[in-house]
Amino acid sequence: MSMGRAVLRRDVDLAPLTTYKLGGTAHWYAEVRDIEELKDVLADRANEPCLVLGRGSNIVFSDAGYDGLVVRLVGSFMEASVESGTVTAGGGLALPKLARFAAAAGRGGLEFFVGIPGSVGGAVRMNAGGHGSDTAAVLRVATILPAGMSTPVALSSYELDMTYRSSNLGDGDIVLDAVFASYERDPTEAEAEIRAITRWRKEHQPGGTLNAGSVFKNPPGDAAGRIIDSVGLKGYRRGAVSVSEMHANFFVAHEGATAQDVWDLVWAVRARVGRETGIWLAPEIRFAGAFAHCDSQDAGPGEAA
């Protein structure tokens, strides 16, 4: 089925589109290349839940799939430009590409994005950060298409209520682009910092495995990985998913893993940490679709996923 130039497809396998390589199918799926294609697709499936999928690096889809519309932003949504000291990037652009683009253009301040394997839209939605900075610190304004609306709005980080790893955007709100502050910097210096960040990640995080980055948000003044490690959970498994031996806030999927295994491990680790330390970790990873309830979800008072 085609709306304009975008094609709506049914029962598309979502697993290859995520870093975990898990999950079922999307009832409807579309890749849109510009705002008009996006509006057409949303209008055609206006009565169904909609989820925008970025790089698939922070989400787990249910084994039963997603009973709604999954949209990916491609084409013009993956472009970037520099003007008057700011860097504008489309919502679908990969953050490492944004970091390298800005560095090559002689703009500093966005190097930290090279260490985050998500998209610009995802970064705005969750205030992604690392290596001493976060999205809120550099975001000037983001263009948002609010859920159920046909007219985009421009919102600042303040208006987005950006706090640690969160914003006020809902699943149906779509980040079309973002404008970032930057400063003049020698490309050689910027690219050297990018290499240093990349090297640090290889040395401290489990590369070459199926994972979705940090599973839990860091509590104030502490690190979720340190806390999980402190209760002896490195290597702990549920099904075919385990807590990484290298970094305890990374959960690694092995052969035969299911999305339900990830869900079960997240809640089991949270419950164990909560019982033993009194710290109820808040999941940073997102789950989409239907998952089976597990006893660990009833273990403590903290935030829901």
Is the CA virtual torsion 136, 227, 264, 305 positive or negative? negative
Residue tagged active-site, from 107, 165, 185, 270: 165
At 206 the pLDDT is 86
Secondary structure letter of residue 298 according to DSSP: G
**What are the per-10-residue average pLDDT scores of the chain (305 residues)?**
71 97 97 96 92 94 97 97 96 98 98 94 95 95 94 96 94 95 98 96 86 94 97 98 96 97 97 97 96 75 42
Domain boundaries, the chain: 2-73, 76-203, 224-295
Between CA 96 and CA 112 the distance in angstroms is 9
Between CA 7 and CA 37 the distance in angstroms is 9
Between CA 285 and CA 136 the distance in angstroms is 19
| Architecture of the domain defined by 224-295 | Alpha-Beta Complex (3.90)
284 catalytic residue (yes or no): yes
Distances, alpha carbon 17 to alpha carbons 154, 209, 210, 273, 283, in Å: 29, 15, 12, 31, 21
Between CA 58 and CA 20 the distance in angstroms is 9
At 8 the pLDDT is 94
Choices 1.10.1060.10, 3.30.43.10, 3.40.50.300, 3.20.20.70: CATH for 2-73: 3.30.43.10
Which residues lie below 8 Å from residue 295, measured CB to CB, with a gap of 6+?
none
* CATH of span 76-203: 3.30.465.10
Between CA 144 and CA 162 the distance in angstroms is 14
Domains 2-73 and 76-203 share a fold: no
CA angle 231, 235, 238 (to 5 degrees): 100
What is the residue whose two structure tokens read 């491990």? 265
150 catalytic residue (yes or no): no
Between CA 26 and CA 256 the distance in angstroms is 21
Residue tagged active-site, from 119, 214, 242, 244: 214
10 catalytic residue (yes or no): no
